[in-house]
Amino acid sequence: MIGCFEKILKQFVLLISLLGLLGCAPRVQRSPVGLLSSNQQEPALSGDGTKLALIVNRNGRPTVQLQEVKTGRIIQLRQLSRYQPHSSPSLSWNGRYLALIVQRRNRRMPIIEDRLMGRVHELLVPQERIPIRLSLSPTASQLAIQVAHKGKWRIEFFDMSDKLEPDQPISNRGSSIFENIN
């Protein structure tokens, strides 16, 4: 009788342990209908998690698309149409700045769109260095770019603090000018 009780107790403990492990598993959130489409690549979330930049195929060209995560609403990017194809998107904290690699004529180059001011900042890298991938810091104060140079790959850092205003988390006190560009 005691052996049977111990066996049931062990199974109960095992069941409770498994349920505890399932409770620790990350939650999977399904995308709104607007985010579900084929050929989505290179996702990049804003630091606050409200915006998603990704590469989609538009008219046979890789094109960056910016969306609100909760609703799937597509946010227009008017400044980037003349720079195509696009790759390697990266967003600042609130999504004010969108950095990506574009093709201009025969040359790949990194650019940053300031969505609040409606400007594009082109970054000139030496012609012998080919930008492959980039990452913008959440405050937009630094940009890391992976480049190919003479058959080798390396990371180069660019200080953007003298070119871009910091993109900081919006405080709960008052409103921000940034709220107008969503």
Q: Give the domain CATH number at 158.
A: 2.120.10.30
Domain count, the chain: 1
Of the chain, the percentage scoring pLDDT greater than 70 comes to 73
- 83-128 pLDDT tens trace: 889 999 999 999 999 999 999 888 999 999 999 999 999 998 888 9
Choice between 32 and 72, residue whose per-residue pLDDT is larger = 72
| pLDDT recorded at residue 100 | 97
- Is 147 among the domain residues? yes
- Is 34 among the domain residues? no
The SS3 assignment for 83 reads: coil
- Is 12 among the domain residues? no
| Segments forming the whole domain that contains residue 127 | 41-170
- Is 20 among the domain residues? no
- Is 30 among the domain residues? no
- Is 108 among the domain residues? yes
149 pLDDT higher than 90: yes
pTM here is: 0.75
The SS3 assignment for 158 reads: strand
Q: Tokens representing 104?
A: 């201009």
| pLDDT recorded at residue 80 | 87
Q: Tokens representing 165?
A: 């205003």
Question: Which amino acid appears at position 105 of this protein?
Answer: R
Query: What is 148-164 written as a DSSP string?
Result: EETTEEEEEEEE-TTTS
- 10-69 pLDDT tens trace: 665 555 555 555 555 565 555 554 444 558 899 999 999 999 999 999 888 999 999 999
| pLDDT recorded at residue 105 | 84
Instruction: State how far the Cα of 52 lies from the Cα of 5, in Å rounded to an integer.
Output: 54
- Is 35 among the domain residues? no
Q: How confident is the model at residue 171 (pLDDT cuts 50, 70, 90)?
A: low
| pLDDT recorded at residue 175 | 46
Q: What is the mean pLDDT of residues 130-156?
A: 96
| Of residues 133, 125, 100, 135, the one with CA closest to residue 115 | 100
- Compute CA 97 distance to the chain's CA centroid, rounded to the nearest angstrom: 11
- 180 touches 98 (CB < 8 A): no
Question: How much of the chain is in helix, strand and coil states, percent to nearest 5?
Answer: 20, 40, 40
- Is 2 among the domain residues? no
Q: How confident is the model at residue 134 (pLDDT cuts 50, 70, 90)?
A: very high
Kindly report each contact of residues 116-123 with a partner whose C-beta sits within 8 Å and lies 24 or more positions away, as own/partner. 116/177, 116/178, 116/180, 116/181, 118/78, 118/79, 119/79, 120/79, 120/80, 120/83, 121/163, 121/164, 123/158
Instruction: State how far the Cα of 53 lies from the Cα of 132, in Å rounded to an integer.
Output: 17
| pLDDT recorded at residue 173 | 42
